[in-house]
Amino acid sequence: MTMRPDPTFHASPKLAMEAPPENFAYTLLLSPDFSKPDALAVIDVNKDSASYGQIVHTITMPNKGDEFHHFGWNACSSALSPLTGHAFVERRYLVIPGLRSSRIYIVDTKPDPTKARIHKIIEPEEVFKKTGYSRPHTIHCGPEGIYVSTLGGGGKDGTDGPPGVFIMDCETFEVLGRWEIDRGPQDKHYDFWWNLPRDYMVSSEWAVPPQFENGIVPEDLLSNKYGHRLHFWDLRERRHVQTLDLGANHQMALEVRPAHDPVREYGFVGVVVDTNNLEGSIWTWWREGGQFHVEKTATIPAEPAPKEKLPPLLQGFGAVPPLVTDIDLSMDDRFLYVSCWGTGEMRQYDVSEPRKPKLAGSVHIGGIARRTPHPNGKAVAGGPQMVEISRDGKRVYWTNSLYSTWDDQFYPDGVPGVEVMAKAGANGGLELASDYFVSFPDGYRAHQIRLEGGDCSTDSFCYPSV
Amino acid sequence: MGTMAWLWLAVIASGLYHGINPGMGWPLAVSSGLMEKSPRALFGALGILAIGHLAATLLMLLPFALLVAVAEWRRPIQAAAALIVIGFGLFRVLNPRHPRALAKIPPTQLGFWSFAVAIAHGAGLMLVPIYLGLCQASDLDRSHPAASTLASANLGIALLVALVHVAAMIVAGGSLAWAVYRYLGVRFVSKSWFNLDKVWAISLVLVGGIALAFNLVDPM
């Protein structure tokens, strides 16, 4: 407990944008063959520092096979919510779930990020026993503490009951139990986020564990058995209120990005692949008259490619699907970044008119068939994947791995972990920074990035930008 | 100044103190005003917050209003009230964490939120020793009134204490909310937010302690 609110908590998105820029980028590293323990890398991103663009600290975990994926802060700007009175917790601990092991690590980043260390380890049994869920995934800091979405239910293969969200205490990290009181028809999970003053949550669907743990199951995909729905919830009542089905051919609705400004009652979700034509799509959802609505507002076509450039999985199609695996919305809700992991493209859409996204910028790097090198000349495997935007919207960071077993199917030659950064123009436009290219130790792939002091997929706000 | 005047001053001071404490809700009024883009929403929220705080204050005062009407119970009840306030203050010192249940109240139930927060933090409780002092001071002006007369007099004082306290609270909190909404901007929300948890808990112990001291040295 501090005497003043953490200086990295901001009342509105506008204030967050005006805050000093990030000095460190925390990046999760995973060992895809589980031969080494997963790790957290701390990268110096201060342009004026002698070690700019270098890994300045690594925390290696004491276990193997965790498969790090997403992670988050114990507290963020949502702590300034006048309803919750948590203003004096610190943004200090990173909560890192092992997607494969269900183990959760708490890493203390204070007093010095370059000396960050493990603070606590929550063993899988505690998660299983207290929640009945498994495979923890997305972390958000909110009104009742830390919200953790899971991808699996109980039992060995995670199919004994639906997956859901559970709550952890944001100071003691005790697992408190399930969040849902009434889950309605929700039976799959992926991402979730909310609008705090408007009191609603939105969640999405990927798949059940047997559909992803050992790789993508082509038969299930072609028979449209992956997730394709959005769920809307009453946040404080913890009750499911509405389902919107995107249509069975829109397979895998992943990242949910609500507008940061709480007066804006809309957001976006990315769909990985349309099984009719392999295109990826962006959907805009919004609330009007107490009801939620959704509409497909942008599509990205598949790119034809010769068979010899394709992995066995795609050879029958003669094309590369864009595979929209991550999206991220800038703090001012103006630009939506869309990772096309298959075609190797990072797209920037101007979403000033949320239901009419306009392509404003694009860079190519990696890609199944294109294999575009970085401007510094180095080869890059994989494609743009987990993307994080600086609070001021000027720098866009991303890594190149999706998920261990899926990487191997789409990029059989391997996906050595890299992290790159692109500079965004004030009115659009995207350009890769030639001086920022982080390559990780051999045998490691890189996944989600969290920025020191908060970023565009962490902080949620209770006051509008005025 | 007589005892009576000091005690009324304490009622007003505690109201101002509760009003400027963000934990009692002025930032919610700012948020309402900004979310609805209307000053009316800000004042509407303040009104609802006031009703919740008033209800919580009365809930604490009214039982005591009835109990102290029985003259021979007055001293032990004053002592007990002082001890309860001290005890609650000490509990807050030792358990500074916020009850999680408060976080479950939806933003649409502002009045209930204000009520629950005031109860959970002992906002109404803080007034009890002051209120009992006022009852005693006004009794002294009379000679041996009937218990029923006393009870209705005490109820009147309770209502007045609660109204004066909440009015002071809303003037303080409302002025801050308006200043932030109209002039200072939301940056002021985090800039002005000090951790009052310890100070608040100690205030409870102090109020209870002073009341207990008066009770023990009281010659009556």
Q: What residues pair up with A107 in beta bridges, in sequence order? A: A94, A118
- Helix, strand, coil shares, percent, chain B, to 5: 85, 0, 15
Structure confidence by residue, pLDDT tens digits, B182-197: 999 999 998 888 888 8
Spatial contact of A352 and A419, defined as CB atoms under 8 Å apart: no
Q: Using CA atoms, how far apart are residues B203 and B51, in angstroms rounded to an integer?
A: 23
Chain B nearest CA to A15, separation (Å): 7
Higher pLDDT pick, B146 / A190: A190
Three-point CA angle A151, A155, A161, nearest 5°:
60
Per CB-CB distance under 8 Å, the chain A contacts of B31 are: 82, 197, 462-463
Given a cut of 80, whether residue B15 has pLDDT beyond it is: yes
Prediction ipTM score: 0.89
Q: Given the DSSP bridges, would you call strands A239-245 and A250-258 parallel, antiparallel or unpaired?
A: unpaired
The verdict on A172 touching B (C-beta cutoff 8 Å) is: no
**Region of A161 on the Ramachandran plot (φ > 0 left; ψ -120 to 50 alpha; else beta):** left
- CA of A326: how far to CAs of A191, A389, A398, in Å? 11, 12, 10
Structure confidence by residue, pLDDT tens digits, A182-198: 999 999 999 999 999 99
Per CB-CB distance under 8 Å, the chain B contacts of A145 are: 100, 103
The pLDDT confidence band at residue B1, using thresholds 50, 70 and 90, is low
DSSP classification of residue A155: S
The verdict on A263 touching B (C-beta cutoff 8 Å) is: yes
* pLDDT number for residue B69: 80
Task: Give start and end residues of each alpha helix (H) in A111-216.
Answer: 124-131
Longest Cα pair distance anywhere in chain A, in angstroms?
Answer: 63
Identity of the residue numbered A77: S
**Interface A:B, Cβ pairs < 8 A:** 93
Chain B nearest CA to A215, separation (Å): 39
CA dihedral A148, A149, A155, A159 (to 10 degrees): 180
The DSSP-derived string for A56-90 is EEEEEEEEE---B---EES--GGGG-TTT--TT--
Helix/strand/coil for B5: helix
Q: Do B107 and A83 touch (CB under 8 A)?
A: yes
DSSP classification of residue A129: H
Task: Tally Cβ neighbours within 10 Å of residue A435.
Answer: 11
* pLDDT number for residue B220: 55
Chain B nearest CA to A183, separation (Å): 17
Identity of the residue numbered A352: S
- CA of B136: how far to CAs of A442, B84, B129, B157, in Å? 80, 19, 11, 11
Nearest CA to A270 out of A282, A279, A258 is that of A282
Buried b (16+ CB within 10 A) or exposed e, A96-113: bbbbbbbbbbbbbbeeeb
Of the partner residues B102, B113, B194, the one whose CB lies closest to the CB of residue A3: B194
Of the partner residues B37, B105, B190, the one whose CB lies closest to the CB of residue A83: B105
Of the partner residues A3, A4, A199, the one whose CB lies closest to the CB of residue B107: A199
- pTM for the model: 0.95
Helix/strand/coil for A241: strand
Buried b (16+ CB within 10 A) or exposed e, B35-55: beeeeebbbbbbebbbbbbbb
How high does pLDDT run on average in chain B?
90
Task: Tally Cβ neighbours within 10 Å of residue A118.
Answer: 15
DSSP classification of residue B143: S
Q: Do B186 and A4 touch (CB under 8 A)?
A: no
The verdict on A264 touching B (C-beta cutoff 8 Å) is: no
* pLDDT number for residue B145: 65
Tell me how far apart the terminal alpha carbons of chain B are, to the nearest angstrom: 21
Task: Give start and end residues of each alpha helix (H) in B95-220.
Answer: 110-121, 128-139, 147-179, 187-192, 197-217
- CA of A189: how far to CAs of A94, A210, A370, in Å? 22, 13, 32
Chain A nearest CA to B63, separation (Å): 29
Structure confidence by residue, pLDDT tens digits, B67-117: 888 777 888 999 999 999 999 999 988 887 777 788 889 988 999 999 999
Per CB-CB distance under 8 Å, the chain B contacts of A82 are: 22, 25-28, 30-31, 189
Q: What residues pair up with A26 in beta bridges, in sequence order? A: A42, A450
pLDDT tens sequence for chain A (466 residues): 678 899 999 999 999 999 999 999 999 999 999 999 999 999 999 999 999 999 999 999 999 999 999 999 999 999 999 887 668 899 999 999 999 999 999 999 999 999 999 999 999 999 999 999 999 999 999 888 999 999 999 999 999 999 999 999 999 999 999 999 999 999 999 999 999 999 999 999 999 999 999 999 999 999 999 999 999 999 999 999 999 999 999 999 999 999 999 999 999 999 999 999 999 999 999 999 999 999 999 999 999 999 999 999 999 999 999 999 999 999 999 999 999 999 999 999 999 999 999 999 999 999 999 999 999 999 999 999 999 999 999 999 999 999 999 999 999 999 999 999 999 999 999 999 999 999 999 999 999 999 999 999 999 999 999 8
